[in-house]
Chain A
Amino acid sequence: MGAWIVGGIGLLLLLYLVWTYNRLVALRNRVRNGWSQIDVQLRRRHELIPNLVASVKGYMAHESGIIDTIARARQQAIAAGSNVEARASAEGALGRSLRSFIVQAEAIPQLRASENMMSLQEELSSTENRIAYARQYYNDSVTEYSTAIAAVPGNLLAGTFAFNAEVLFAGDEADRQPVVVKF
C-alpha cells in the first residue's frame, strides 16, 4: 500500500516536471517566433524605402542629404543581422531618419496632395505599427519566458536543460526623450 502511494506521488511529480519542461519549450519557441516576426516587419520597412525614395526623388533632389542618411541607416541595420541590441539601435536610427524625412516631404505641397504619396504614407505608418506590435508581442513573450525560467520550479529545469535568458527589444533612445513643442 505504502509503495503504491510513494509510486503514485513520484509519477505525479514526474508528470508535473514534464509539463513544466514542455511549457518552457513552448514559451521559448514563442520568443523565437516573436523575434522572427519583428525581423519580417523590419525587412518590410527596408523594402519600402527604395519605393519611397523613387516616388519623391523628383521633388526633393536638393535635400538628398536626408536620402543618403536613410540609405546609410538601412545598410547598418541590415549589417547588424540578428544581434538584438545592435539591431535595435540601428533600426531606431532608421526609424528616426524616416520620420524626419516624412516631415520634410509633407512640407512640399505637390507631394502632400499626391495620391501616391498618401498611400505610401499609409504603408509606412502601418509598417511602423506592425513593428511596434511585433515588438510588443516579442517583449510580452520574453517577459513571460523570463518569469517562467526564474521562478520555481522552472529555474531548476532551466539550469539543467540550458534555457538561456533572452533580451528585451529595447525602445529607441530618442523615443525616450521628452517631447519638445516649439511655437
Chain B
Amino acid sequence: MSDFSLPSADRTSFFDEQKRRRRAVWVLSGICLLIASGIGIVLSSLVTPMLLLTGGGLLHLLARFGVFPATMRQAAHSLGEWAAGYGRLFQNVLESLDHVHRLTDLGLITTPLLRLAPVSVPALVAACLVWIVLLRISQRGEGGELIVRLSGRPPNPNDREERQLENIIAEMAIAAGLPAPAVFMIDSPEINAAAVDGAQGQASVMVTRGLLDQLDRDETSGIVAHLVASIGAGDIRLTHAILAVFQTFGFFVTFLDLPFRWSAWRALGGLVLVAAGLRETPATVVETLDLLESGLAAETLPDVETLWSVIPYRRVRKVLLVPLLPLLLISIVLRVVLFLWTALFLGPPLAMIWRNRRYAADAMAVQLTRNPDGLAGALSRIGGSAIPDGGSGREYCFVHGPPVSAKRGIAARHTMTGSLHPTLPRRLKRLQALGARTGRGERRRMPRLDVIAKHPGRTLFVGLLLVPMVPLVGTLVLLVGYLTAIAMTLGLGAGLAVTIGLLD
C-alpha cells in the first residue's frame, strides 16, 4: 500500500511554500535592482554627456529660431558649466589615481569618486523615464501578438473537450476570486499552455489541442490553476518590467549607434512612431521592442560601410568618419562590458526569480484545486513536449519550457542560464512535498551538499576540487571590473571633453 505511506519528512503546506517563494523573490529582486543600477551607472558615463549635448543642442536650436534667445543661450551655457564642474572633478580622480601604488592606497580615490558620483544622476533619471515609457508601450502589444503568431482561435462551444476547458477556466477563476481570463485554442499536438495579456489588458489563457486530447479533467484543472495563479500573482506584469529593463539598455546603446548602424535609425524611428500612437498594432509594437532589445547584441562594424555609403565620395566619407572613430571604439567596449554584466551578474538572479515564481504558481495551483495529484500528473505527462511552433522567444509565458531554451528570449541572449523553467523532476518533487502521490521523483545528477558535509573526507576532496575555482572566478571578476573601469573612464573623459568644448 505504497499509496498510503506516511508523508515524507519535508512535507509542507501550500501556504508555507508560497510564503517561502515570495520571500526568495523579494531578496532576489533586491539583488537584481542593485545590479541593474550598477549597470545604469556604467552606462551613465556615456549617457550623461550624450544627454547634455542633446539638451544643449536643442536649446541652441531654439535660440536660433528666436524662442527666448537670451534665456536659451544662458541655459545651454549653464549646462556647459555643470559639465565643466564635473570635468574638473574627473581630473581630480585621475590625478589621485596617480598616487595609488598599492591596494591599500585605493582609499585615496574614494572621496573624489564620491564627489564625481552625481554626474550619473541625469542618466539614471533618463533611464527611469525611458523604462516607464517602454513599459507602457509593451503593455499595449505583446500578448496579443503572441496569440496571432500562434494562430490562436476561440474555443468551439460544440466540441465537448473545448466546452469543458471553458468550464474549467471559469471554475479556477472562481476559486482564485479573479475575473475569468479569455481562452484561446492552439491547434498543435504539443502538450502546453500559456498565460499572456490580450487586448485591452485582459489576461488570456492559451491551451494547445494536444493538451486537451491527452490530459484528463483533473490534470487540465491543475494546469489551468497554475496559469490562473500566475495571472493573479502578476507574473505578466513582471515579465514586462524585466524585459523593459533590457530594452532600456538597448535603447541607449542604439542611440549611441546612430552614426554607425542603419537598423539603429529604423529602431528609434519605429519607437517614435509607436510612442506617438501612429503605428499601434501589436505586431509593430513587438517588432520595435525586439529591434531595441537586439541593439544590445547588434554587430556594428559591418554596418558602418553600408550606412555611410549614402555619402558619395570615398575620401569625403573617410574624412567625416575619422572624428567618430573614438565614439565607435567606446561604444564597442561599452557593449562588451554591458554583455558581460548582464550575462554574468544580472542573468542568473533573474532566472532564479522566474523559477521561484513558477514554484509559487505551482503551490498556488494546489491551493486552488486542493488536488496536488492533478498538476503532478499533468506535469509528468507533459514530459518531452515542446513549445508550439511560433512560440520561441516567449518561452517564459508557457507552463513548461524545454530544458535549454531556443535562440531568442531573455534566457539565451542575455544570460548564461540554461532555462527559465525549473526542471520537471524538481517541480514534481516540490509537488510531492505538497502531498502529490503521482509523478516520478527527482533524479539526482548533482551531488547533495548535505550528504557530503557529513563526511569529512569527502568534504576535503570537494574542497580541494574547488580550490582552483577561486583564482579563476577572481580573475574573471577582476577582468570585468577592469574593463568596466576602462569603458567608464574613456566614455566620461571623452564625453565631458566634447560637451565642455561645444557648450561652454
Q: Report A's interface with B, CB cutoff 8 A.
A: 30, 33-34, 37, 41, 118-119, 122-123, 126, 129-130, 133-134, 136-137, 141
Contact = CB atoms under 8 A, between A and B. Distances in A.
A136 B175 contact: yes
B370 A136 contact: yes
Given A126-B170, A130-B170, A130-B171, A137 B164 contact: no
Contact of A126 (B171, B176, B368): B171
Of the listed residues A30, A119, A129, A134, the one surrounded by the most CB atoms of chain B closer than 10 A to its CB is A129
Q: DSSP majority for the B interface?
A: helix
B160 A133 contact: no
Size range of the chain B interface in the assembly: 10 to 19
A123 B168 CA distance: 11
A122 B175 contact: no
B147 to A, nearest CB: 25
Contact of A34 (B171, B177, B370): B177
B108 interface: no
A137 B177 contact: yes
Contacts of B134: none
A30 B172 CA distance: 17
Contacts of B62: none
Nearest to B367: A140
Interface of B: 160, 163-164, 167-168, 170-172, 174-177, 368, 370
A37 B176 CA distance: 11
Decide if the interface of chain A is mainly helix, strand, loop or mixed.
helix
A37 B160 contact: no
A137 B369 CA distance: 11
A34 to B, nearest CB: 7
Nearest to B369: A133
Which of A33, A119, A126, A141 has the largest number of chain B CB atoms within 10 A?
A126
B170 A137 contact: no
Contacts of B176: 137
Contact of B177 (A30, A41, A122, A129): A30
A175 to B, nearest CB: 15
Contacts of B170: 126, 130
B185 to A, nearest CB: 17
Contacts of A122: 160, 163-164, 167
Given A34-B177, A141-B177, 20 more contacts: A33-B177, A37-B174, A41-B174, A122-B160, A122-B163, A122-B167, A123-B167, A126-B167, A126-B168, A126-B170, A129-B167, A130-B171, A130-B174, A133-B171, A133-B174, A134-B175, A136-B175, A137-B174, A137-B176, A137-B177
